[in-house]
Structure 1
């Protein structure tokens, strides 16, 4: 049954008085407050695409680009790589030899590149050279022998006492063991320095 206007007025007045007592609404507003919450997230629409530039600006820039592009590998070798055969240990042919074997024959490789490899017991393979392309070793002249002896003497001579030993002195000490730590050395293991020349001029 529908309510009359007087009944509605009494109903709203009683409801407003109840809410006013609980402090849920303002006295000047005869209806309850709306629930205030977080705003609903809005779903963004699709991003409009950027307008394409006019074709007249791209024609001079992109003209002939496909013909000029070349695929270049910066790590590619300048010359084509060649592979050489690898033989098992003690299975190399008779026409090949290592540097040490060539030296035992009195030959040198004469700048030729290795033609093959041979497996060894170590981590690296031995390089083989063609014996037919090898040349005789250059003879050792007096000048070369003097230069080698001078270089060897610099490594065997003590800078403190001047003795020349028959072995290479350690470079970390820069002297012999006797001068560095007082360890006695066998006199048969070195050559004594020459005695200074006597003064023979008249006083």
Structure 2
């Protein structure tokens, strides 16, 4: 356990802070809430996890990662998908799959780096 990141009362880091994998019961990240069918529901961040990670090191910044925690008892259920939202998402995905050059639905999202489908970007 990293004693540097253990601050349950928040006097040092401003928020109650725990080392990686040391969060007490009753707290969850957004992903953990979503896996349980919940969402933060407008509540403020209740605590945080901090850990060292050289994998995401940036020039001039310490290699510390953060994950924000929310209280499970204040979380709300995820809103159900409505037919209007389903239609809007389907339309948006169709726009991402349609090549602006040849106007065909390619079945995959057009790469933003190319701006067009692969056959149009690499003519034979």
User: Normalising TM by the smaller chain, what interval?
Assistant: 0.7 to 0.9
User: Partner residue of 2:3?
Assistant: none
The structure 1 residue matched to 2:34, chosen from 96, 103, 111, is 103
Asked if residue 86 in structure 1 is aligned to residue 17 in structure 2, the reply is: yes
- How many angstroms apart in 1 are the aligned matches of 2:42 and 2:70? 10
Asked if residue 175 in structure 1 is aligned to residue 106 in structure 2, the reply is: no
1:91, distance to aligned residue in structure 2 (A): 0.8
Name the structure with the higher strand share: 2
Output the aligned Cα RMSD: 1.8
Asked if residue 154 in structure 1 is aligned to residue 85 in structure 2, the reply is: no
1:179, distance to aligned residue in structure 2 (A): 1.3
Of structures 1 and 2, the one scoring higher in RCO (CA 8 A, sep 6+) is 2
User: Partner residue of 1:145?
Assistant: 86
- How many angstroms apart in 2 are the aligned matches of 1:107 and 1:121? 28
1:159, distance to aligned residue in structure 2 (A): 1.7
- Residues 129-184 of structure 1 show CA distances to partners (whole Å, capped at 9, x for unaligned) of 0000000000001110111111121111112222223332122432111112126x
Give TM-score, length-normalised by structure 2. Answer: 0.73
Q: Secondary structure at the match of 1:101?
A: helix
The structure 1 residue matched to 2:72, chosen from 110, 113, 131, is 131
The structure 2 residue matched to 1:164, chosen from 84, 105, 110, is 105
Asked if residue 115 in structure 1 is aligned to residue 46 in structure 2, the reply is: yes
Ranges in structure 1 where 5+ consecutive residues have no aligned partner: 1-81, 184-203
- How many angstroms apart in 1 are the aligned matches of 2:23 and 2:44? 17
Give TM-score, length-normalised by structure 1. Answer: 0.46
Query: Matched residue pairs, number?
Result: 102
- How many angstroms apart in 2 are the aligned matches of 1:141 and 1:121? 41
